[in-house]
Structure 1
């Protein structure tokens, strides 16, 4: 089943507007609150896990999508369509963070980001070769995790003192025990096999206070994909993401000692709740020097991540400048001390 959102005033296609947060008609300017649209789509039957043919209700063109696509645009008339049968049952997202940055704002922010590159080639910094920009809702699991931590450590306090002609070193030993209960809320892990995990991790953080109950109109005009990995498959990765925070917290509770040696550390992390969530991402494709460079932008905060090309000449000049400045500083110090280099 294909869903189009038609303007009640003029019959033109409507799409979600990141600037206003409403379903908008770009023809007559009508705006509607997303929350006023019904949820009957949730009762639709989920299609088989294979590529499927749909027909655009706007122009009749054939839409061919892969098994993961939940929302797309018609290549012929540009209408935003939502594939409702991909959003039913356990495939229906629980939450969504809508886009707050429009396509025009995303391009402007990306060009500004390019100009700030200190070691990027001058030609890249002009940011005038954007090949394509796509607004995409990426599937994530947000985990609420609880960690029960029990730690045994052997700690020492060392004191050195002088008595008469002798220097004494006193070492005291302490058996330290900690029983810690930690809660982590909404730990994000992207669930799409097509997206680069490192790139998606770097887009964090999102403002989860802006999470909304999922409604299909949020997808109108954007591309959206369903998850490839369920919450159980990605739970180990969520646990890995909080390991450093757990260890840092443990270390913060054992202070004031000369040395700490952990004899036993037991960490039991459990999933208390997982939310299937769609998060907004602008994917930017940039042509430079006969190569395509891919960047991602947080569709809520505007944060840009990716690896821009590096100018070898700028790198050489930068290291040369650092080396020259270091030499000058050492020369001044030597002269002040009465020496020379």
Structure 2
């Protein structure tokens, strides 16, 4: 089923506007709240089979999609469409963080970001090389996790003192035990096979106070996909993400010792609740030296992540500058102390 949102005024296709948080008509400028949008202006078209092609309600063109696509545009007339049956049942998201950064704002933010590249090649800092910028909702699982930690360790306290001409060192040993209840709320993991996990991790954090109950109109005008991995498949990855935080917390509870040696550490975690959520991401495709570089931007905060090319000449000049500055400082110290530095 293809779903399109028709403007009650002029019949044009409406899309979600990141600035206002409403459905917006590009033709007459009308804006509607998602919660109160009239159902008679939601136009569905059913296909006879579960297939990878649909028909655009506007121009009749066939829309070809991959199996996991849930929102896209008609390639011929540009109409935003939502593939509703791919967002129902077990594939229905529970929450969504809507875009708050428009495409125009995203373009300007990326251009500003490129100008900060001190070690990038000179031509790279021209933000006009943007080839394409695509707004898409990436599927994530958010995990509420409960668990326990049981830790046994041996702590030492060492003190030294002097009597006469003799220095004494005294070491006391202590048995240390900690039983800790743990809870972590809304730990994220992206569930798309296509998205680079490291790239998505670096886009965090998102502001969860902006989480909204999922409604399909949020997707109008953007690309979206359903998840490739269910919450069971990703739970081990989420556990590995929180282990450093658990270790850090355990260490914070064992203080006042000179050394701490763990003899036993058992950590058990289980998910108490899971939310299928869509996060907003601007994908930026950038041409430089006949290559396409891919960057991602948090569609809520504007944070940009990616690996820009590095200029070997600028790196060499940077290290040379440090070496020269260091030499000048040492030379000045030498003269100040009345010495000679060769």
Query: Hey, what does 2:117 align to over in structure 1?
Result: 117
Deviation at 1:103, TM superposition (A): 0.5
SS of aligned partner of 2:294: strand
Structure 1 stretches lacking a partner, 5+ long: none
Query: Hey, what does 1:66 align to over in structure 2?
Result: 66
Per-residue deviation, residues 152-206 of structure 1 (Å, max 9, x unmatched): 0100000100112221111000001011112111111000000000000000000
Is 1:252 aligned to residue 252 of structure 2? yes
Structure 2 stretches lacking a partner, 5+ long: none
Cα gap change, 1:298/1:12 in structure 2, threshold over 3 Å: closer, same or farther? same
**Does the 8 Å contact 1:54/1:62 carry over to 2?**
yes
Query: Hey, what does 1:209 align to over in structure 2?
Result: 209
Query: Hey, what does 1:177 align to over in structure 2?
Result: 177
SS of aligned partner of 1:85: helix
Written as runs of structure 1 = structure 2, the 5 A alignment for 1:214-233 is 214-233=214-233
SS of aligned partner of 1:234: helix
**Does the 8 Å contact 1:140/1:189 carry over to 2?**
yes
Query: Hey, what does 1:25 align to over in structure 2?
Result: 25
Query: Hey, what does 2:139 align to over in structure 1?
Result: 139
Deviation at 1:37, TM superposition (A): 4.0
How many Å separate the matches in 1 of 2:194 and 2:39?
28
Cα gap change, 1:203/1:46 in structure 2, threshold over 3 Å: closer, same or farther? farther
**Does the 8 Å contact 1:47/1:85 carry over to 2?**
no
SS of aligned partner of 2:128: coil
How many Å separate the matches in 2 of 1:118 and 1:90?
47
Deviation at 1:336, TM superposition (A): 2.2
How many Å separate the matches in 2 of 1:70 and 1:88?
10
Query: Hey, what does 2:107 align to over in structure 1?
Result: 107
TM-score normalised by length of structure 1: 0.96
Per-residue deviation, residues 3-41 of structure 1 (Å, max 9, x unmatched): 000000000110000000000111111111011248999
Per-residue deviation, residues 283-313 of structure 1 (Å, max 9, x unmatched): 0000000111000000000000001111111
Paired residues, number: 338
How many Å separate the matches in 2 of 1:150 and 1:207?
32
Query: Hey, what does 2:167 align to over in structure 1?
Result: 167
Cα gap change, 1:160/1:248 in structure 2, threshold over 3 Å: closer, same or farther? same
Query: Hey, what does 1:322 align to over in structure 2?
Result: 322
Query: Hey, what does 2:197 align to over in structure 1?
Result: 197
How many Å separate the matches in 2 of 1:31 and 1:118?
42
How many Å separate the matches in 2 of 1:81 and 1:179?
53
Query: Hey, what does 1:158 align to over in structure 2?
Result: 158
How many Å separate the matches in 1 of 2:255 and 2:51?
58
Per-residue deviation, residues 94-144 of structure 1 (Å, max 9, x unmatched): 000000000000000000000011101111101111111100000000011
TM-score normalised by length of structure 2: 0.96
How many Å separate the matches in 1 of 2:48 and 2:201?
30
**Does the 8 Å contact 2:47/2:54 carry over to 1?**
no
